Structure 1
């Protein structure tokens, strides 16, 4: 399975490193609220970044988590928000810090 990517605020990633797991689904929504963590492929990343963070005032405070799905220990499902739509990877559980193989600065806005 190819790497998964997730854009987040540096402060949220720092907090996850302290607790051992990352539990934000998307901008302003937690795993508990959403039921899964939104991710993207490398090809989807620029569109996701523009959609979620295009108006974000601190793009230098963003990071891209590179996640190894083999290290997750929870299901990953590729799903579309509407029938016939583009499928995005969703992680159905918390992301262990050990599953993050790299942290890339910024976001491709």
Structure 2
């Protein structure tokens, strides 16, 4: 592994840490509790490190939302594929509602 590859992997890890921490805070306390100061405390990096990865809190929220869309798509695909013949729409609708109920901050993002 080259130094550039290692740095890119570490950068991706920090980015995931930021988004997962923002998501955890939002799920526990709501999006209004997600601030760069709070995130920097949670992840034990300075605020400038956060801004190296994301230009704003809106960008962090968008990143969390994109991850959420991927999770929702997977959940809906599984619901559709595992549904009994002719019952796919109902299974997908129930899974969509369950997803929104289980992760309201993610759904809100």
How high is the TM-score relative to the length of structure 2? 0.28
Higher relative contact order (CA 8 A, sep 6+): 1
Give 1 or 2: higher strand fraction.
Answer: 1
**Structure having the larger proportion of residues in helix:** 2
